[in-house]
Amino acid sequence: MKFFVDTADVAEIRSLAGTGLLDGVTTNPSLIAKSGRKMSEVIAEICALVPGPVSAEVTATDHETMLKEGRYLRAIAPNVAVKVPLTEAGLRTCKVLAEEGTPVNVTLCFSANQALLAAKAGAAFISPFVGRLDDIGQDGMGLIADVVQIYRNYAFKTEVLVASIRHPVHVLQAARLGAHVGTMPPAVIRALFRHPLTDKGLEAFLADWAKTGQSIL
């Protein structure tokens, strides 16, 4: 499964990119707003750090303006993926941009029927929001299972990008179901490294080594 980080914090992206484990980045207007910077500058800087897809989201709600914004965003860098909402106007925009060769990430997906429409519109990525569904008592991972199965049934090329990931268990569940991508906040990615037995084992190894008085170098 590919790992994307969901943030517009350039320092965090630079740090995680240094691990070699980061495959892409997703942003949205809320994350860009938190940066306090101009969107085009932030996206350009992120794209220079990460060779994989960097999702930059339109803010318009009508098709014509979405299309203009999408074409503007894709011109920032070759690895920009334009993000559009799962609305009728968003899918119309997705179809046009996809036909022009622009990868499109269709976001705010909350049903398998919506995901089916996005695939038919030529989306490169579909972003179902599992955490937000869980918040209202619905089964977020059940949606992922449905979408993965539907896409396999018809050999759609659209990748399932699991969004609104809240904790490492979501990552594990998404990987088990065969989702193509998981996008998550930096804290969740860092949590994947940690396990109390790893910490305990390392502490014991280092204590035993210190007793020898040796140095490897």
Q: Which residues does the annotation mark as catalytic?
A: 83
Give the whole-angstrom CA distance, residue 204 versus residue 85.
50
Pairing verdict, β 125-128 and 80-85: unpaired
Between the CA of residue 115 and those of 9, 106, 124, 142, 149, what are the distances in Å?
29, 9, 12, 13, 11
The Cα–Cα gap between 76 and 22 comes to: 21
Contact (Cβ atoms closer than 8 angstroms) between residue 188 and residue 168? yes
Rg (CA), the chain: 19
Q: What's the chain's length in residues?
A: 217
Which amino acid type is present at position 162? V
CA distance 23 to 83: 17
Helix (H) or strand (E) segment spanning residue 162 = strand 159-162
